[in-house]
Structure 1
Amino acid sequence: MKINPPVVVGFDGSSQSRDAVWWGAHEAALTGAPLLLLTTMFTPTTYGVPIGMPAFYFDEQEAAAKKRLAEATELAKQAIGDSAVEIDVELASDPPIPVLRHISKTARVIVVGSHGHGEYTGGLVGSVSSSLAVHSLCPVAVIRGLAGDGDVATRPVVVGVDGSVHSEPAIATAFEEASIRGVELVAVHAWSDVALDVVFSKFREVDWHARQDTERALLAESLAGYADRYPDVGVNTVVVKDRPGRNLVNHTERAQLVVLGRRGRGGFSGMLLGSTCREVLHDAHCPVLIVNSHR
């Protein structure tokens, strides 16, 4: 019997996690996957050791958690409308990061808000989302808010391509996401990691036209074969001399989703999350889907 991995949404009641439920419910409806809504109970600790609390404290925590799950379930039902999606809930008593890290072994994708309750991040990603982006065994969708414009569903999916093996699973995932959404895929290859003022002051002798041709060929090679597998997906390729993170963030202003590999060709083995991925996670204007190279 073939197992259908669930879309798992971590929910803590924050506005960002409400957006995560909405996005995750739509993803489940589009893919035919079951939806698992998960929340955790908070247990106070000192240096990792649980603090003894009166029984009524845990009763209150459990009641609050069940209330959150009921809210998340209602949000999911509103999001999917008439779509037939199996919705399950889970209440865990351990902290969210290890719980979600464990469940990533069997999930299709984990969906979380960019930050949750109690996390003032100044617009940056919170502890749960940043940890999962590094350690999850399945793709992680970090929802930075859903634009309210009516044309969101027609916006393209954007994928960052750098020609490394780390971007290959991201490309495959991006084609799949564009296909199920019925939208165009924008494949972006921004190949210069240096600022333009440095380029023109120190490296004028470089044949940038030849380099541009080389980078176009690299992008074409990276995308080879996917047109046959996804004939329904129109592809717009962008090859630009710019810093990858900055250029991809600019593209997210008119995208419904951006898909990235966890590390790029500039990363070394000890770098768990690449610099481009970190920059896009921090500054993107749309949901970010991080795909590791072991997908």
Structure 2
Amino acid sequence: MGTVVVGYVPKPEGHAAVRAAVAEAQLRDASLVVVSSHRGNDEGAEVERELASVQAVLAESGVAYEVRQVGGGFEPAEDLLSIAEASSAELIVIGLRRRSPVGKLILGSNAQRILLDAHCPVLAVKAV
């Protein structure tokens, strides 16, 4: 059984990424690893509440999953890439946010790093 790794943030793009990752995991008959990378300035109770709602969606999907909360020294891209490599992921799913016309010239630094440095294919989805 393969593994799909998804980066989750409690924003519309994070929810879109989780939905797409669940669909990919079902299609590939793979397990799912949800990576929630947060820094010290995040509200602990809010993060826990958001992750509980994501876990409810995952439980309903029937996909085997694991949620990893990562905080501390590394950047979110580094957290996601290291977990994906350690899990031998066959796919990474990330969410992208809408950008202004000028912002479209440059992807976010985390998204760009993941797209360029990932050892496996990356699916980038946008929030609807």
TM-score, normalised on structure 1?
0.37
Aligned partners of 1:221, 1:248: CA distance in 2, in Å?
21
Q: 1:276 to 1:223 in 2, by over 3 A?
A: farther
One-letter identity of the residue aligned with 1:275: S
1:92 match: none
1:289 match: 123
Q: State which structure, 1 or 2, has the greater radius of gyration over its C-alpha atoms.
A: 1
Residue of 235, 253, 258 corresponding to 2:65: 235
One-letter identity of the residue aligned with 2:114: V
2:56 match: 224
Aligned partners of 1:280, 1:155: CA distance in 2, in Å?
19
One-letter identity of the residue aligned with 2:64: G
SS at match of 1:224: helix
Q: 1:275 to 1:220 in 2, by over 3 A?
A: farther
Name segments (4+ residues, structure 1) moved above 3 Å: none
2:16 counterpart of 1:169: yes
Q: How many residues align?
A: 120
Between Structure 1 and Structure 2, the one with more strand by share is: 2
One-letter identity of the residue aligned with 1:156: T
Question: For the aligned residues, what is the CA RMSD?
Answer: 2.3
1:257 match: 91
Q: C-alpha displacement at 1:159, in angstroms?
A: 0.5
The sequence identity of aligned pairs, in percent, is 32
TM-score, normalised on structure 2?
0.80
Q: 1:243 to 1:215 in 2, by over 3 A?
A: farther
- Structure 1, unaligned stretches of length 5 or more? 1-153, 193-198, 200-205
Task: Say whether the 8 Å CA contact 1:187–1:237 is kept in structure 2.
Answer: yes
Spell out, residue by residue over 1:271-293, the C-alpha distance to the aligned partner (whole angstroms, 9 max, x if none).
Answer: 44322211101111111001112
